[in-house]
Amino acid sequence: MFNQFIQKYNLPKYRISQLYTQYYKNLISSWDELSTWPKDLRESLKKEIPFSNITFISSTESQTKDSIKVLFKTPKNNYIESVLIKEKDRNTVCVSCMSGCPVGCIFCASGQMGLNESLTSNQIIDQILYFARYLKGNGERVSNIVYMGMGEPLLNLENVPRSILTITDKDKLAFSKRRVTLSTSGYVQNLRIFLGKKLGVKLAVSLHAPNQKLRDMLMPNVSKKNSLVELFKILDKYTKDTNKRVTYEYVLLRDINDSVASAKELSKLLKHRLALVNLINYNENECLPFKKSKRTILFQKILQENGITCTVRKSYGEDIKGACGQLAVAQWER
């Protein structure tokens, strides 16, 4: 974000360090607070670099006060959303990497919008900084970041890795790589390129089906061109090379992918793999025909009986339309 400015003004190291410290670590809320810089330099910065590349529109807090969803607008007038999930031991920010999503999973509200715009790395970072400043007011910090908001991170291969470098740079946001998770729907070739960058962040895969046929139905755009066989080839290599576990997300849709047979098939698929299954209760949306499963506990039990580590994702903010993309869709349709 600052490279051109730094070059143009030939800034010495100590000025760059002052800027990064104030902006990324002290979390100033406007350029006027960059008091360690002389006024003329600060004024130039103010004229040339927007303090944020996205505009806050609204925020909604869940009744249980454990999640806050924020709607932002980009300069191209597209909406994006980010969520802060508060738990006892962590504050996780879920960022979007696109407005809308081109993957078009048939159960997902973001998927129905199609792609409006891919975000720049600065726009991704701005979502994190927004919540970091918000939490600072309560003496708290963002502890974890997940790329699980709107969009497919591996279809924004220029800006997502760039944003990860800023997040994990010790002079900038300085997050441990273990506290950053990228979630993909499974674009094999792009996953290969991403893993080749060796950014060291954790990996999650939106699986949502235990076999090719059902995945083709639920996630046609990605599934038909990226078979489960090819996907697992690269994931198996990843776990072998890194000894890191992959998280598999599985949204339970009533009478679609939540049968006992599906649970057994999923168990078989993951049995000898370093895997954690994260079951997700579906947040129903009036625009889509899918229903929340009634078999979550049974599904989890079957996986566990088959030796698969399995958690059920705590459902955050159903009352704030907390499922993927729904808040932005509501705004979009106004």
Q: Considering only CA atoms, which of 261, 97, 112, 94 is closest in space to residue 180? A: 94
Does residue 81 have an active-site annotation?
Answer: yes
Dist CA 150 CA 80 (whole Å): 7
Dist CA 209 CA 224 (whole Å): 13
Indicate the Cα dihedral angle 256, 260, 264, 266, nearest 10°. 30
Identify which of residues 104 and 161 has a Cβ nearer to ligand SF4 in the complex: 104
Instruction: Tokens for 281, please give them.
Output: 């209760």
In contact, 325 and 151? CB cutoff 8 Å: no
The only residue of 54, 152, 173, 266 in contact with ligand SF4, by rule CB under 6 A: 152
242 Cβ contact list (under 8 Å, min separation 6): none
What is the x/- site pattern for ligand SF4, positions 173-212, by CB under 6 A?
A: ------------x--------------------x------
Q: Which of 81, 117, 152, 249 is catalytic?
A: 81
CB of 32 to ligand SF4, least distance (A): 37
Distances (CA, A) of 238 to 100, 206, 272, 296: 29, 16, 14, 29
CB of 38 to ligand SF4, least distance (A): 45
In contact, 281 and 312? CB cutoff 8 Å: yes
111 binds ligand SF4 (CB under 6 A): yes
80 binds ligand SF4 (CB under 6 A): no
Identify which of residues 172 and 208 has a Cβ nearer to ligand SF4 in the complex: 208
Instruction: Tokens for 143, please give them.
Output: 């502890």
Place of tokens 């979630």: 183
Dist CA 18 CA 24 (whole Å): 10
Dist CA 166 CA 286 (whole Å): 38
Which residues from 309-328 bind ligand SF4, rule CB under 6 A?
324-325
Kindly indicate which of the ranges 36-44, 53-61, 107-115, 229-237 contains the residues binding ligand SF4, using the contact rule CB under 6 A. 107-115
Q: Which of 101, 105, 310, 324 is catalytic?
A: 324
Does residue 94 have an active-site annotation?
Answer: no
Kindly indicate which of the ranges 42-50, 102-110, 233-241, 315-323 contains the residues binding ligand SF4, using the contact rule CB under 6 A. 102-110
Identify which of residues 34 and 219 has a Cβ nearer to ligand SF4 in the complex: 219
Q: Which residues are catalytic?
A: 81, 324
Applying CB under 6 A, the residues found at the interface with ligand SF4 are 101, 103-105, 108, 110-111, 150, 152, 185, 206, 324-325
